[in-house]
Amino acid sequence: MDLLRFSRVPLARLPTPIEPLPRLSTHLGGPQLYVKRDDCTGLGLGGNKLRKLEFLLGEARVQGADTVLTVGAMQSNHARQTAAACARLGLDCELILRRGGHATEAYLHGGNVLLDRLFGARLHVLATQESREDFMAARAEMLRGEGRTPYCIPVGGSCGLGNLGYVACAGEILAQAADKKMKFEAVVVATGSGGTQGGLVAGMQLLDGAPVIGIAVEGDRREQEALATRQAVESLRLLGRADIDLSGQVNVMDDFVGPGYARPTDAMREALGLGARFEGLVLDPVYTGKAFAGFLSLARSGRFDKKQSLLFVHTGGTPGLFGYPESV
């Protein structure tokens, strides 16, 4: 797995720790639960997207970019981390955000949005029906006409290049497990734009590692599995391993989406409460809260015995908690 040939800028504090969740494991009476703390990657209050941005902004630097554009929801964690990374690297940053159906003061001005502005990003807030991708393409063309050199990042930083951050993370997880002489029966992660799960799947396949289970935060199982598969294939192709067969290797649970993206559920609220009260673990209502609900469901399912271990990848998103206070 040769990642050294790709340009990369150091942004994240790595490796992130793997921590046991002993009180929660005892409370549930099932397998031994662990968490991979990718909420602790550091820059801009951390999160999973910094791993992707190391590769994406590495390419942006090689191309001589002076302005970075990306898209996301109004309370996008990816947008916030992109803004922080651009501030660190001295790049202009423009965020194309979709307002969505929320209208609270916290959603429109708090949480990640407050940080976006603090990091110096320029925000373009679109109505729900407008295409963020079309706006980004047009804005990039306008900047080129002004003599600028823009670099566009897709939603979530999810693309073959960005996903390499989680190909590398798969190796990091396996090395940490080997160091502790332990084995994870499954690695569980939130999946939305599919890149984090796709990168983990690609990495685990390359290294003969653990199964990866995605917990969907939007869409249904079939479309999310197809999306994560495409993301994994893109990364494997970049690594010269398009020959790897992913049949049956990309698994998604869609039981915890509820009424839709960023819409609260009782299972999400329970997951936030259990993580906080038993382990002091802070989750968010959009991604990790719903994913942790799926993780708890797997722990309770009887599929794994008490001696087996499960790993939850905490992808961050804590600032988003303050954008949706009514959801908790």
State the architecture of 18-47+159-327 in CATH terms. Answer: 3-Layer(aba) Sandwich (3.40)
* Residue 235 falls in the annotated catalytic set: no
What would the pLDDT profile of 289-313 be if each residue is shown by its tens digit? 999 999 999 999 999 999 999 999 9
Residues 315 and 38: their CA atoms lie apart, in Å, by 5
Out of 7, 25, 76, 301, the active site residue is: 76
Any alpha helices (H) in the chain, and if so which ranges?
22-28, 49-62, 77-89, 105-109, 111-118, 132-145, 164-179, 195-206, 221-238, 266-279, 288-300
**Main-chain phi, psi angles of 317, to 5 degrees:** 95, 10
Fold match between 18-47+159-327 and 49-156? yes
Kindly state the greatest CA–CA separation across the chain: 62
* All structural domains of the chain with their residue ranges: 18-47+159-327, 49-156
Q: Each residue of 72-125: pLDDT tens digit?
A: 999 999 999 999 999 999 999 999 999 887 889 999 999 999 999 999 999 999
pTM (2 d.p.): 0.97
What CATH class does 49-156 carry?
alpha beta
- Rounded distance between C-alpha atoms, residue 183 and residue 179, angstroms: 10
What distance in Å separates the CA atoms of residue 230 and residue 63, rounded to the nearest whole number? Answer: 25
pLDDT tens across 250-267, in order? 999 999 999 999 999 999
